[in-house]
A and B are shown apart, each in its own frame.
Chain A
Amino acid sequence: MRILTLAGRRLAASIPTLVLILIGVFVLLQFAPGDTVDALMAQMGGGDATTARQLRQYYGLDVSAWAQLGNYLWRLIRLDLGFSAIYGKPVATVIAERLPATILLMTASLSLAFFFGLIFGVIAARGVNRWPDTLISTLGLVFYAMPTFWFGLMAIVVFSIYLQWLPAGGFEDITVGLTGWRRTLDIASHLVLPTLTLGLFYMAIYLRIMRGSMLEVLTLDFVRTARAKGMDETRVVVRHVLRNALLPMVTLIGLQAGTMLGGSVVVESVFSLPGLGRLAYESVIQRDLNTLLGIVFVSALLVIVVNFIVDLLYARLDPRITTGG
């Protein structure tokens, strides 16, 4: 029950933020020259002024910007995301088609980053200033500094072109038409390289944070007490240190769920994945305001949900942080 009240309060508190974000994006896009009809004309490779006028009328672009924003917010209240001018379908449908690829990619990358970040962070902290620490920290720095698109392209060159182990792009193999388990495996094999590309960067961050917080917790009094009780080292690390060192990691997940959506634009382009990141990018290029606002809305919801889960995890990891607040 307390969780439900908390969820309700968090959601209510985030509504003003959401509306502000939407208005901000709307206003920002007004500064870009040209509208969706100009973008359509560019795509068509020519057209006349009468057609342009008719199209503007059709998409409701002939009224003032404020009236357009008012119309949009009024529709949003009725949970209608509007109609995409570029895709010719309701925005909700367009986003629903792209959401699975993005969520798959995000979950896989975050899990990879979190899991290996944690393990490598612990190993580095246990062997601080010895060779495992040096090796892991150097690798972490390399992954952190490497541009995502470059790593993606190099991964394609090595694993797809040279070794021919993994597909170079796409979400699944459509030339053969697989079903069931074989299709799942096929999709998984298509996701390996994008997940690595997106995940390794975040892994580098996590292992730094994990290493740092492990080192900090290891110096605290309760660790000394536990050791003094004669507890063996593994139990000390797992039961006492890890649990406390995890808090900053969990905080980061909440923060990075949002940035990951941004980072996935590049990965989705390099690997031709049909995800939200690329959809957002194309909506900007095509000035498809409705779709763009819809994506902002959905990703804001996503971030709110992730942060809510993070709050719950907090309470679980450290009972001193009460959910009641």
Chain B
Amino acid sequence: MDMTRRAALLTSAAIASSVAFPMRSLFAQETPRKGGVFTVHYGAEQRQLNPSLQASTGVYIIGGKIQEQLVDLDAAGNPVGVLATSWEAAPDGKTITFKLRDGVKWHDGKPFTSADVQFTAMEMWKKILNYGTTLQLFLTAVDTPDPLTAVFRYERPMPLGLLLRALPDLGYVSPRHLYEGKGDIRQNPVNLAPVGTGPFKFVTYERGQHVIADRNPDYWRPNAPHLDRIVWRVVTDRAAAAAQMEAGQIHYSPFSGLTISDSARLGKDPRFIVSTKGNEGNARTNTVEFNFRRKELADIRVRRAIAHALDIPFFIENFLGDFAKRGTGPVPSVSTDFYPADNGPQYPFDKKLAAKLLDEAGFKAGAGGTRFSLRLLPAPWGEDITLFATFIQQSLADVGIKVEVVRTDGGGFLKQVYDDHAFDLATGWHQYRNDPAVSTTVWYRSGQPKGAPWTNQWDWTDPTMDKIIDDAATEVDVAKRKALYGDFVRRANTEIPIWTPIEQIFLTAISAKARNHSNTPRWGSSSWHDLWLAE
């Protein structure tokens, strides 16, 4: 009896100390340990790894350690120079000058100069990079008066704040000497064996297995990086990834790579830290997209009725746990620069009001209580979307709207929604990228070409909204810009061509041995030059 009690006491003491351990690291000044191999869960392989050509977390998670951008975000979310040291905009907003870092070398030993920036901006960002083509649409030239100065010239004013908030994602630089005159940039083999200026040098990519990068001994930041090697393990099965984390084969699973239930379970295990920290720059909203080609959905009363019919707090509490909250509009609350004081109308759960609105719109319940039926396409990017689709189906049945859920894979979803417009309702994610002009306003701006994914394909046209969007995109005055985006959010919530009822931040699961992690708002995508592993 006595022995058991002592054993129990010892065990609880051991648990207490292991729980306290990750906390202790916050207070004690530990000296970074040199060396170690950091293993990362890589859930979806990409066709290529060069972030100058593809803006997606799947590329940043690898390419962002090897290549660097002009500007990144610091812990507070403010722009901080990486390959650029300073920047200045002309008063008319049409010229922006970057001073570049001296003494930086590419991994093959060649010096980094303004010619690299010029080539990357004109040939990659402006012509190929998704979202870059829109951002740099009015870029006419990049002048290079000397090797350490790059002058961006624009046809229309480019707000400096917009460019600086876009560049952490859309500002990665590629080596000119490995691309110029080497044929089609998209097919260049360097894209799969990237060469950059970053803290880690590409070693090998075995398809279906792993990517390896080793420490760059000539990195420009003193005493960095700390790690010897990073290994990205390709694990497509989410449950298998969680098992490998528990078995110690993986240290880090970024961007909500594990299932909701595994995340919750690992969060209680002292060997891991599960949180949204370090992903503030990767906020996303769950969306309900309405096809205006259906006469029922073109009626604003029907859209509002659908919004009122969904009990969002109930859904969040029972299906998404603590990792989500009620959304307020297309600009998420973590956006300190643009989140408006007044978001305009919200749509609290009210089934009676929903039914009343539908009656007013002239869609009375027919035989069996059904008013009309709709086809709902959920995007296949996450289990929360699948759950939400079922929730929409059941909630709308209560107010007399019959919903058929049509499941597809990624290619099928994009084709049917954005090319064939073969949907009535669609539900997916909208990812916010620090400034509404980067990837948010295209969801609302009319006149988007057919087949362009994640743009306004709802057949919604609103000249007032178009004008707000266009004015804000070229407004140089910071305060006026913010005010315009306030108008944008309120108009979006009033007309609701898309409803954004849930706000989420990507989840990170990481080993408690990792130090200096999650210390910037886009940490999973950042360079990890200061990351180290405790013994």
Residues in B lying within 8 Å of A, measured CB to CB? 37, 39, 44-48, 54-58, 128, 130-131, 133-134, 186-187, 191-192, 206-210, 212, 229, 231, 233-237, 239-240, 243-244, 246-249, 408-416, 419-420, 431, 439, 449-454
Complex Cα distance, B247 from A161, in Å, reads: 5
Known: A39-B411, A46-B131, A175-B37. A167 touches B240 (CB 8 A): no
In the complex, chain B residues whose CB is within 8 Å of the CB of A50: 133, 449
Let me know if A264 is at the binding interface, CB within 8 A: no
In the complex, chain A residues whose CB is within 8 Å of the CB of B439: 46
Q: Are B208 and A170 in contact (CB under 8 A)?
A: no
Q: Are B47 and A42 in contact (CB under 8 A)?
A: no
A192, chain B: closest CB distance, angstroms: 14
Known: A48-B134, A88-B192. A169 touches B47 (CB 8 A): no
Known: A40-B47, A285-B409. A52 touches B451 (CB 8 A): yes
Q: Are B454 and A175 in contact (CB under 8 A)?
A: no
Let me know if A184 is at the binding interface, CB within 8 A: no
Complex Cα distance, B44 from A168, in Å, reads: 19
- In the A-B complex, the 4 residue pairs with the smallest Cβ-Cβ separation, listed nearest first, are A274-B208, A34-B411, A34-B415, A42-B410
Q: Are B235 and A287 in contact (CB under 8 A)?
A: no
Q: Are A156 and B130 in contact (CB under 8 A)?
A: no
In the complex, chain A residues whose CB is within 8 Å of the CB of B413: 34, 42
Q: Are B450 and A49 in contact (CB under 8 A)?
A: yes
> Which of A129-137, A240-248, A265-273 lies at the interface with chain B?
A265-273
The digit string for A74-88, where 1 denotes a CB below 8 A from any CB of B, is: 000000000001111
Q: Are A274 and B209 in contact (CB under 8 A)?
A: yes
Q: Are B243 and A46 in contact (CB under 8 A)?
A: no
Q: Are A42 and B414 in contact (CB under 8 A)?
A: yes
In the complex, chain A residues whose CB is within 8 Å of the CB of B57: 45
- Chain A 212-268 residues near chain B, CB threshold 8 A: none
Known: A34-B415, A52-B451. A43 touches B56 (CB 8 A): yes
The total of interchain contacts (Cβ-Cβ below 8 angstroms) comes to 172
Q: Are B235 and A169 in contact (CB under 8 A)?
A: yes
Known: A48-B134, A51-B130, A278-B208. A272 touches B414 (CB 8 A): no
Q: Are A43 and B58 in contact (CB under 8 A)?
A: yes
Q: Are B229 and A175 in contact (CB under 8 A)?
A: yes
The chain A residue with its CB closest to the CB of B422 is A33
Q: Are A33 and B209 in contact (CB under 8 A)?
A: no
The chain B residue with its CB closest to the CB of A285 is B409
A sample of 21 inter-chain contacts (CB < 8 A) reads A34-B411, A34-B412, A35-B411, A46-B453, A47-B452, A51-B130, A51-B133, A88-B47, A98-B207, A153-B240, A160-B243, A161-B246, A169-B235, A170-B210, A170-B244, A174-B231, A175-B229, A269-B237, A270-B237, A272-B233, A285-B410
Let me know if A164 is at the binding interface, CB within 8 A: yes
Q: Are B56 and A52 in contact (CB under 8 A)?
A: no
B387, chain A: closest CB distance, angstroms: 20
Complex Cα distance, B419 from A48, in Å, reads: 12
Let me know if A297 is at the binding interface, CB within 8 A: no
In the complex, chain A residues whose CB is within 8 Å of the CB of B212: 174
Known: A38-B419, A51-B133, A168-B243. A45 touches B411 (CB 8 A): no
Known: A46-B130, A161-B247. A38 touches B39 (CB 8 A): no
The chain B residue with its CB closest to the CB of A271 is B240
Let me know if A141 is at the binding interface, CB within 8 A: no
Q: Are A285 and B207 in contact (CB under 8 A)?
A: no
The chain B residue with its CB closest to the CB of A276 is B208
Complex Cα distance, B209 from A60, in Å, reads: 29
Complex Cα distance, B186 from A53, in Å, reads: 14
Let me know if A44 is at the binding interface, CB within 8 A: yes
Known: A47-B453, A169-B249. A33 touches B133 (CB 8 A): no
- Chain A 89-132 residues near chain B, CB threshold 8 A: 94, 97-98
Q: Are A88 and B48 in contact (CB under 8 A)?
A: yes
Q: Which among A35, A168, A278 has the highest number of chain B CB atoms within 10 Å?
A: A168
Complex Cα distance, B415 from A42, in Å, reads: 10
Q: Are A168 and B411 in contact (CB under 8 A)?
A: no
Let me know if A317 is at the binding interface, CB within 8 A: no
The chain B residue with its CB closest to the CB of A45 is B56
- Kindly identify which residue among A36, A86, A175, A272 contacts B237, using a CB–CB cutoff of 8 Å: A272
Q: Which among B134, B192, B207 has the highest number of chain A CB atoms within 10 Å?
A: B207
Let me know if A171 is at the binding interface, CB within 8 A: yes
Q: Are B247 and A46 in contact (CB under 8 A)?
A: no
- Kindly identify which residue among A39, A49, A97, A167 contacts B207, using a CB–CB cutoff of 8 Å: A97
In the complex, chain A residues whose CB is within 8 Å of the CB of B208: 97-98, 274-275, 278-279
- Kindly identify which residue among B186, B246, B408, B453 contacts A41, using a CB–CB cutoff of 8 Å: B453
A103, chain B: closest CB distance, angstroms: 15
The digit string for A146-184, where 1 denotes a CB below 8 A from any CB of B, is: 000000010011001100100111110011000000000
Complex Cα distance, B244 from A169, in Å, reads: 7
In the complex, chain B residues whose CB is within 8 Å of the CB of A161: 243, 246-247
In the complex, chain A residues whose CB is within 8 Å of the CB of B130: 44-48, 51
In the complex, chain B residues whose CB is within 8 Å of the CB of A41: 414, 453
In the complex, chain A residues whose CB is within 8 Å of the CB of B234: 272, 274
Q: Are B237 and A88 in contact (CB under 8 A)?
A: no
Complex Cα distance, B290 from A198, in Å, reads: 45
Known: A33-B408, A49-B450. A167 touches B47 (CB 8 A): no
Q: Are A33 and B420 in contact (CB under 8 A)?
A: yes
Complex Cα distance, B454 from A287, in Å, reads: 20
In the complex, chain B residues whose CB is within 8 Å of the CB of A51: 128, 130, 133
Q: Are A46 and B187 in contact (CB under 8 A)?
A: no
Complex Cα distance, B47 from A285, in Å, reads: 13
The chain B residue with its CB closest to the CB of A175 is B37
Q: Are A170 and B249 in contact (CB under 8 A)?
A: yes
- Kindly identify which residue among B244, B415, B420, B450 contacts A35, using a CB–CB cutoff of 8 Å: B415
Let me know if A32 is at the binding interface, CB within 8 A: yes
In the complex, chain B residues whose CB is within 8 Å of the CB of A168: 240, 243-244, 246-247, 249
Q: Are A156 and B247 in contact (CB under 8 A)?
A: yes
In the complex, chain B residues whose CB is within 8 Å of the CB of A271: 240
Let me know if A286 is at the binding interface, CB within 8 A: yes
20 more A-B residue pairs beyond the given contacts A38-B412, A272-B237, with a C-beta to C-beta distance below 8 A:
A32-B412, A33-B408, A34-B410, A34-B415, A38-B410, A39-B409, A42-B410, A45-B57, A48-B134, A48-B449, A48-B452, A51-B130, A88-B191, A94-B207, A156-B247, A168-B240, A168-B243, A175-B37, A270-B240, A274-B234
Known: A88-B48, A161-B243, A272-B236. A45 touches B55 (CB 8 A): yes
